[in-house]
Structure 1
Amino acid sequence: LRAIKSVLVVAGSLKREERSRPEEQVLMRALRDFNLPKIVTSDVPIFLGLISDLFPQLDVPRKRDPTLENAVRQSVSELRLQPEENFILKVLHPFSSTYSNMKMKPVWNDINPKAVTTDELFGYLHPATREWKDGLFSSLMRELTSVTHDGPKWIVLDGDIDPMWIESLNTVMDDNKVLTLASNERISLSSSMRLLFEISHLRAATPATVSRAGILYVNPQDLGWSSCTPSWTWFCLKKPSSICKKHIQTPVYQLRPDTH
């Protein structure tokens, strides 16, 4: 039900932008563009087949913002990465460097939630004195709500998802967007604030967490190895003592196994 609501919100925003477009085209584009970022490469043909069954002989181009895409390409190049089309599509949201180039520099802080206990992250009441001890996340969220800033404000949680701490964020990730602490204090997530989770997998995530988050899955198959080569070359040449520097221009088939 939560996913259905998200799709309808996306469809509603698309309809308001293009009121003359037929509703079946709006819904088709909302379903396709909302779900594709979450799907692994092997499942993409299956998903597109389902979409074509629902909307036969209907192909609506995705909404594009040339100014935004050019800003992303500029940021990617400055980071010595390769502006592959699939990569650009995946990194349109979020992008700190792009926001900076567009004069919308975000205010952000990163936390490793696995480096502290749940009490240290969200705060706790001392069992004997009943004194409140503030947590790292709760104090940071309270501070960001009071910061006067026109651009976006992010809290980046860089660590594997664990039900022990992620379940405490369910109310923040719901529609009410409120963090309720054990002290009964309620801290609201403002419209300019976002939670960003940088993780390597979702093995420990519950359906409740996955349904609340917007997932961006980067498929290794979409990029391949060719886009990594120029960036890897630059990195190796930057280090004079690198053992791979003398082999950097050597064709792969000429490299000995012990020099890979």
Structure 2
Amino acid sequence: MVGTFKLSSEQLSAQDHYDYGMRAVKSTIDACGLLKRTLGDQLGEDQIVLRALRDVNVPKFLQDDLPLFENIISDLFPTTERPKVDYGNLSAALDEVFKKNNVQGTEWFVVKVVQLLDTLKVRHGMMLVGPTGAGKTTNYRMLQQTMT
């Protein structure tokens, strides 16, 4: 896990919101613990670490850095199968909320809403940042309505 953060800090672009220190390691360990408690019987240890690394880091990376991060993960976990993520009822509930609010539930937007949920599970605080009209408010409102 530490090797992933070290290589990421060396190879990915320098961004103010990228964090490879102890806070990132703690968030990843917390995510591992959560995954172990909920999916421990379905996933191996390497798969849990791999999924936690993705869940914690992918939402904050820029689009150009995602392939580099995936290559780092592939190099460090060459034999680990990428775990399939099943959100079960969440997808159906999101679809209902999208229809109710006349929001297009594109695959990309659904991924962003799920990433927000995953981030909220492992972080004490977070910010949604981006240009005007990018969907930040819609993202958290759709998640809020889905979770109630």
TM-score (norm 2): 0.60
1:128 alignment counterpart: none
User: For the aligned residues, what is the CA RMSD?
Assistant: 2.5
The one of the two structures with greater contact order (alpha-carbon pairs below 8 A, sep at least 6) is 2
1:61 counterpart SS class: coil
One-letter amino acid of the counterpart of residue 111, structure 2: L
1:53 counterpart SS class: helix
Q: Structure 2 regions of 5+ residues with no counterpart?
A: 1-21, 118-122, 136-148
Pick one of 12, 24, 36 that aligns with 1:15.
36
1:1-260 maps to which residues of 2 (within 5 A)?
1-20=22-41, 21-92=43-114, 93=116, 197-200=127-130
Identity %: 33
Q: Structure 1 regions of 5+ residues with no counterpart?
A: 95-172, 175-194, 202-216, 219-260
1:132 alignment counterpart: none
In structure 2, what is the Cα distance between the partners aligned to 1:197 and 1:25? 28
Structure 1 residues 85, 51: closer, same or farther in 2, change over 3 A?
same
In structure 1, what is the Cα distance between the partners aligned to 2:64 and 2:126? 26
Tell me if structure 2 keeps the 8 A contact 1:33–1:62: no
Tell me if structure 2 keeps the 8 A contact 1:7–1:34: yes
Structure 1 residues 83, 18: closer, same or farther in 2, change over 3 A?
same
One-letter amino acid of the counterpart of residue 64, structure 1: D
Give the C-alpha shift of residue 196 in structure 1.
6.2
Q: Which has the higher strand share?
A: 1
One-letter amino acid of the counterpart of residue 55, structure 2: D
Q: Which has the higher helix share?
A: 2
In structure 2, what is the Cα distance between the partners aligned to 1:198 and 1:42? 19
